[in-house]
Amino acid sequence: MYDEVTIKEIVDKQREYFKTGVTLDIDFREKQLKKLKKAMADYENEIIDALKQDLGRSDVEAFFCDIGTVILEINETLRGLKKWAKPEKLYSGLVCFPSLITKVYKMPYGVALIISPYNFPFLLTFGVLVAAIAGGNTAVIKTSSKAVNSTNVIKKIVADIYEPEYVTIIDGGHDIANICLAQRFDKIFYTGSPKIGKHVLRCAAENLTPVTLELGGENGNWCIIRKDSDIKDAARKIAFFKLLNSGQVCININQVAVASAIADEFVKCLKNEFDRQIGNAVNNEDYPKLITKAAYDSCAKKAKEYQDRIVYGGFGSEANLKYAPTIIYPVDINENIVKHELFNPLLPIVVYEDEKVDELLKVIADREHGLALYVFTKDISWANKVMSTQQFGGGCINEVCLQLMVKGAPFNGTGHSGMGAYHGKWGFDEFTHPQTVLQGYNKFNLPLREHPYSGKIGKIKMKLLKLFER
């Protein structure tokens, strides 16, 4: 069992280890990343079993979302690390003459705290760890107390490949997380809800620790379907996404806004797609479950509030914690269910008039920024304008969720959906700070910056400064 003394000792040992300078070596970092990549393959069966026990995941979904994605992240980092970590050489400028060379070093922060969630326990633990290792940090990882089996496998993997003074796993509930947050870390990375994100920021402020927050978003993620869209294609993709991890996905569609002219037809297509892709979800072994009884009860309670408008689903099995994908239609844009993140398989459908889409966008923009935005339309010009003017983390045009998979692109939120970014070089940058160093020169130094600043000499200096600083 962890307590304040034990956790402080862990942090202190990691700080001493970091001070040895071992983690600064790029070859060392690459070696640690390769260890993790090998472990993902060696422990594949145990990871799949753990995800099945915790979340009811199928083998395919487990590999697609948690195993393969981590391996791809490691591969991208290994390919780019030497280039990313190389100091940047800059021309200092005439005002700095004769010191013409400046370098910007990419320095690790030091001891990092990573707090990971339950919904993708391996991806959102090891995916962040990859960035921390690449940046040259040590890491204390607080895993989710809800994904017990996954946490046990994560602990086993880390103990197998890393020394505790380099990477350590700490499990437990919110009390343990608070003890961790009370320590002086050099960097904190939290994935979870906006409510806890605020708490993390408050704790970090005590030590002025830089923080990255990846949050689900206060008001959830919108999907907008214009009347000119390919309805069947949209329904197929949205059904897949809503079934993924039973809706427990931070970038998942929280609510759909569909043009009135096609609303009935879209709902019909969506029902058909749920039937085609999953059938009787509650009794389907491939359909994931909700993480806890509390999560199941919350989902069932919310569905009951809208039972008069449930047109598909609306039932579950308390025994196996599976709740069917549920379409709630129609829902007004100002109702409670579309004003907060659901994180379950409920899907409210808001109807709007296509010619008033700008009013819809204004309502969305006036609420807290989502982590994702999805639009379906044949009008790509309009879609590009929306994507370049609305504020959100990331999104897709005529597609769902795949923005997460693009190599070289950041994953991040804004406002209530987070701050900071990671994946690939963005993750490396998130776990390093740029350190500017000018290389001085002891010959041909000009007295331009020195006193006197008055008289004839001062006037000459002013002319030169105006010449140089243009």
**Active-site residue among 180, 250, 269, 299?**
250
Question: Distance between CA 401 and CA 247 in Å, rounded?
Answer: 12
Residue 429 is classified by DSSP as: H
The 10s digit of each residue's pLDDT in 348-403 is: 999 999 999 999 999 999 999 999 999 999 999 999 999 999 999 999 999 999 99
Say yes or no to pLDDT of 138 above 80.
yes
Q: pLDDT exceeding 70 applies to what percent of the chain?
A: 100
Q: Which fold has domain 4-217+420-433?
A: Aldehyde Dehydrogenase; Chain A, domain 1 (3.40.605)
The 10s digit of each residue's pLDDT in 99-130 is: 899 999 999 999 999 999 999 999 999 999 99
Residue 200 is classified by DSSP as: H
State mean pLDDT over 72-90: 98
Domain over 221-367+370-409 is classified CATH 3.40.50.2000:
no
Residues 6+ apart with CB under 8 A from 223: 238, 253, 255, 256, 257, 373, 374, 375, 376, 400
Say yes or no to pLDDT of 442 above 90.
no
Is 180 annotated in the active site? no
Question: Distance between CA 264 and CA 258 in Å, rounded?
Answer: 9
pLDDT at res. 24: 98
What is the maximal distance between C-alpha atoms in the chain? 91
pLDDT at res. 39: 98
Residues 6+ apart with CB under 8 A from 248: 55, 119, 288, 290, 291, 295, 343, 344
pLDDT at res. 464: 86
Handedness of CA 194, 212, 132, 251 (dihedral sign): positive
Provide the phi-psi class of 136: left if phi over 0, else alpha when psi is between -120 and 50, else beta: left
Say yes or no to pLDDT of 22 above 90.
yes
Sheet-wide strand order for 432-439: 88-91, 101-108, 432-439
What is each CA distance from 225 to 63, 235, 360, 391, in whole angstroms? 30, 10, 11, 18
What is each CA distance from 144 to 2, 118, 169, 177, in whole angstroms? 15, 5, 11, 10
Amino acid at 16: E
Provide the phi-psi class of 379: left if phi over 0, else alpha when psi is between -120 and 50, else beta: beta
**Active-site residue among 73, 76, 214, 218?**
214
Say yes or no to pLDDT of 469 above 90.
no
95 vs 15: which has the higher pLDDT: 15
Say yes or no to pLDDT of 1 above 80.
no
3-state secondary structure of 436: strand
The 10s digit of each residue's pLDDT in 251-289 is: 999 999 999 999 999 999 999 999 999 999 999 999 999
Confidence of residue 162 (pLDDT cuts 50, 70, 90): very high
Six-digit token string for 265: 């037809």
3-state secondary structure of 368: coil
pLDDT at res. 465: 85
pLDDT at res. 217: 87
pLDDT at res. 173: 94
Question: Distance between CA 39 and CA 32 in Å, rounded?
Answer: 11
Mean pLDDT for all residues in the chain:
96
Question: Distance between CA 420 and CA 405 in Å, rounded?
Answer: 18
For the chain, the straight-line distance linking the first and the last C-alpha, in angstroms and rounded, comes to 62
The 10s digit of each residue's pLDDT in 313-326 is: 999 999 999 999 99
Confidence of residue 467 (pLDDT cuts 50, 70, 90): confident
pLDDT at res. 93: 85
| Domain edges within the chain | 4-217+420-433, 221-367+370-409, 440-468
State mean pLDDT over 403-417: 95
The 10s digit of each residue's pLDDT in 337-357 is: 999 999 999 999 999 999 999
